[in-house]
Structure 1
Amino acid sequence: MTTLGSVPSDRRVDFVANDAHLATVSMTERSGRSRAATTYEIVDAAVHVRPVDQADLRRYLPAIWKHRRLPFGDRYYYPNVVGDSLIESYGNEGPPASTHRLVEEHVRGAVGARHAILHPYTYGLLPDEDLLAAICSATNAWLAETWLEDQPSDRPYRGTIRVSPTSVSHAVAEIEKWGSHPDFVQVGVPMQSLQTYGKRVFWPIWEAAVAHDLPVTVLTDGETGVELAPTPVGYLRTFLGFSSYKPLNFINHLASFMVEGVFDHLPDLRVVFADGGYDFAVAMSWRMDKDYRPMRADMPWMTELPSHYLASNVRFVTSSTDRCTDPEILGEWLAMGDADQILVYGSHYPEWDFLAPEEAIPEADDATRQRVLGGTARELFGLTPEPLTPDPESRPAKEGS
């Protein structure tokens, strides 16, 4: 496994929070315990690659933006006291997840992913909507040229079309530009938004995604201070508070998608929430089901119970998911939440809260884990199905396990 390396000072200036000297969390420590590698075929639905430095991204910006100062993305509101990235993700070539060598070693090697869905950050919202739109365009062009065009022969990487919710027409144009590219498999928007995503102003984005058969993934991606407070009643004091509350923010957008009629207007739309929330979703849908029945006249366009849309149109990445661990009720708990259809595995490499595949609902039965670790994601992203694997108990342990 790669050891902690020193990041050259000329590469560190644009990535302040990813100073290697702050990193104290490793992949093995984060996974909680050392276990044999999983024997299932794995699709990692959340890998956050980034440019080596800002000059790497500027090459794809129009001339008018090439000399503008870009956001740092250093989470100055909530600095993480243990560092933002895993120790192993640092190397002499650049910041975490910026080089093929380390991503190959960790995501395809340590994680064992057959496919990795690359979802770069764009630092949430900016006051200058045109600059943010340009950053999204540049990010998509950079991702296509740097990661998707020159791949290993088995083509393990798939990309995310990053778009800005503050510029709907530009977002639609980006989806039209890249939507037919065979290796772009989803549209990415930030969790941070000044309006909930069910509002009709956003519908052209969702319509464009459906037209290209692309799911929409909502990812926490802020840090520039333009977005709203992380809770409905203001700011928490510490990173712990911010991080612990983060999975709850999905409720605002999910409820909006439902009650505004988006899923009735676009029954083929699939929305993926990438930062947890699965463990809250069932209880929320029950509450909404209860209140929907006497109030449905207020929403004549909403033709199904909210719980129906949860099962048919919504998926959750496994990160930040608390779970029942009592073996006597675990199966029932997972069945209530349709885990085998709704959950998809994502490591969030190289983030500090990296989730190893062996830690993704390890108590579940083999059929459910096979769906969560790869099967559901292959369907969601239109990936070529893998050949059926033998019974895990009959497979020899991997070397070194």
Structure 2
Amino acid sequence: MQTLKEETNQNSMRKQRIIDCDVHVAPRNADEIRKYMDPYSRSRFSLSGRDLYHHPMNVNRTDSVPPRGGGPGSDPDFLREQLINEYGIDYAILLPRPFSNPLPNANYATAVCSAYNEWQADTWLRDYNHDQVFRGSILISTQDPEGSVKQIERWAAHSQFVQVLSDSGSRAPYGQKMYYPIFEACEHYGLPFAIHAGADGIGINIQPTIGYPTHYIEWATLHSISYQSHLVSLLVEGVFERFPKLKVVLVEGGVAWLPTLLWRLDQMYERYSEEVPWLRRKPSEYMRDHIRLTSQPIERPDKDRELVRMLELMDAENILMFASDYPHWDFDSPKYAFPKLPDRMRERIFFENARELYGLK
């Protein structure tokens, strides 16, 4: 029997509109992707993940395998049952993970992304989307800027694709000019550029730490280092002066590191601003106009008031968006991801920030 507190929490959640900004979906099998590939790419393709740092337990929730077959995140009806209907999700932003950034063959990497985009459009964004709850991500491989731009141009007019997505694992920090064609296309079509944690130090990607960690726990903990590197690069290189309408989303890289990083960067800017004369504001002042972060995995201190204070320090009311990371093992339930928050902060984190970013209703 539910306690009064539990019932009150559930009633409150039913009233709260929610956009989940990190929902992982996957094909039922490799043939679902191969059908969209040319013969050269088709003969080489197989479903794969990270080939260096494997999760030591289960990547996914043990209850996320669909009873009708297929892997976690592959059955739209079961996903609706476990996520959309269970928590009253208004929109789910889909982030398939082809792990193409580590591939040394840039043309093949883009072919993989192209096939995934076709598959998304035909399945999750059309056949499975009778209620219009799903919104997709245009997948690109950043080692192929030319091919990435073509993918953005190919899908930008599709109303159900709401952002461009790539891995945090890359050949260089994302503020460098080799990526400018991608940002130019994102800005032109009004699509945010989203970065998802993973693939760092794998394949052709650079490991952001001073060397290769021994264990998965080290590698995963230090995802935040990759995000700090990309963010500082974007801010210092003047990407947002060159592309003043560009938005960037940092997905699944944590959030607690943000306030202290910006304090340090602003202090450095006061000392060395002559080195970066293209910046017209302190680095931290670009955040609200250009950067969004997703909440999962939210770092939880022992005391809830300390978490709320950290959210205030990072300006969460204006830049943080809720994410569950379904169907992964560390899934964050909308009911329990946060302590009690001020009403306006909660509304903006769970709904308004994402609604504004993605142009949803």
Deviation at 1:146, TM superposition (A): 0.6
Query: Does the 8 Å contact 1:229/1:235 carry over to 2?
Result: no
The alignment's C-alpha RMSD in Å is: 2.1
Deviation at 1:114, TM superposition (A): 0.9
Q: 2:350 aligns with which of 373, 377, 394?
A: 373
Give the corresponding residue for 1:299: 276
1:184 maps to 2:161: yes
Question: Which has the higher mean CA deviation after the structures are superposed, 318-327 or 375-384?
Answer: 318-327
CA distance in 2, matches of 1:82, 1:101: 26
Q: 1:87 aligns with which of 62, 68, 74?
A: 62
Deviation at 1:35, TM superposition (A): 8.9
CA distance in 2, matches of 1:268, 1:45: 21
Give the corresponding residue for 1:46: 22
CA distance in 2, matches of 1:36, 1:179: 39
* 3-state SS, counterpart of residue 133 of structure 1: helix
1:101 maps to 2:77: yes
CA distance in 1, matches of 2:105, 2:7: 46
Query: Does the 8 Å contact 1:126/1:224 carry over to 2?
Result: no
1:235 maps to 2:232: no
TM-score of the superposed pair, with normalisation by structure 1: 0.83
Deviation at 1:221, TM superposition (A): 3.6
Q: 1:67 aligns with which of 25, 43, 61?
A: 43
Q: How does 1:265-344 map to 2 (within 5 A)?
A: 265-323=242-300, 326=303, 331-344=308-321
CA distance in 2, matches of 1:64, 1:334: 49
Gaps of 5+ in 2: 1-5
Query: Does the 8 Å contact 2:294/2:321 carry over to 1?
Result: yes
CA distance in 2, matches of 1:316, 1:205: 20
1:367-387: CA deviations, max 9, x gaps? 211111111111111101xxx
Give the corresponding residue for 2:115: 138
CA distance in 2, matches of 1:172, 1:152: 26
Give the corresponding residue for 1:226: 203
Deviation at 1:110, TM superposition (A): 2.3
What amino acid sits opposite 2:191 in the alignment? L
Question: Which has the higher mean CA deviation after the structures are superposed, 145-154 or 220-229?
Answer: 220-229
TM-score of the superposed pair, with normalisation by structure 2: 0.91
* 3-state SS, counterpart of residue 278 of structure 1: coil
Deviation at 1:127, TM superposition (A): 1.4
Give the corresponding residue for 2:3: none
Give the corresponding residue for 1:21: none
1:18-58: CA deviations, max 9, x gaps? xxxxxxxxxxxxxxx99943231110000110111111100
What amino acid sits opposite 1:84 in the alignment? V
Question: Which has the higher mean CA deviation after the structures are superposed, 355-364 or 338-347?
Answer: 355-364
CA distance in 1, matches of 2:231, 2:138: 21
Question: Which has the higher mean CA deviation after the structures are superposed, 249-258 or 362-371?
Answer: 362-371
1:173 maps to 2:170: no
Distance 1:65 1:166, change over 3 A: same
Query: Does the 8 Å contact 1:343/1:372 carry over to 2?
Result: yes
CA distance in 2, matches of 1:318, 1:291: 27
CA distance in 2, matches of 1:290, 1:62: 52
1:181-228: CA deviations, max 9, x gaps? 110000001100011100011011011011111111100242893044
- Percent identical among aligned pairs is 31
Runs of 4+ in structure 1 off by over 6 angstroms are none
Distance 1:226 1:35, change over 3 A: farther
1:127-186: CA deviations, max 9, x gaps? 111111100000000000011112444310100000110110010011011011110000
Distance 1:69 1:336, change over 3 A: closer
Give the corresponding residue for 1:15: none
CA distance in 2, matches of 1:163, 1:278: 24
Query: Does the 8 Å contact 1:317/1:346 carry over to 2?
Result: yes
Query: Does the 8 Å contact 1:35/1:358 carry over to 2?
Result: no
CA distance in 1, matches of 2:183, 2:117: 18
Query: Does the 8 Å contact 1:77/1:223 carry over to 2?
Result: no
Give the corresponding residue for 1:28: none
* 3-state SS, counterpart of residue 176 of structure 1: helix
1:322-380: CA deviations, max 9, x gaps? 14564656554332211111110111111111111123322322221111111111111
1:227-286: CA deviations, max 9, x gaps? 446442122222222222223320010000011110111121111110133211111111
* 3-state SS, counterpart of residue 32 of structure 2: helix
Q: 1:256 aligns with which of 230, 233, 243?
A: 233
Give the corresponding residue for 2:137: 160
Query: Does the 8 Å contact 1:190/1:221 carry over to 2?
Result: yes
Give the corresponding residue for 1:394: none
Question: Which has the higher mean CA deviation after the structures are superposed, 313-322 or 76-85?
Answer: 76-85
CA distance in 2, matches of 1:323, 1:72: 31
Question: Which has the higher mean CA deviation after the structures are superposed, 127-136 or 360-369?
Answer: 360-369
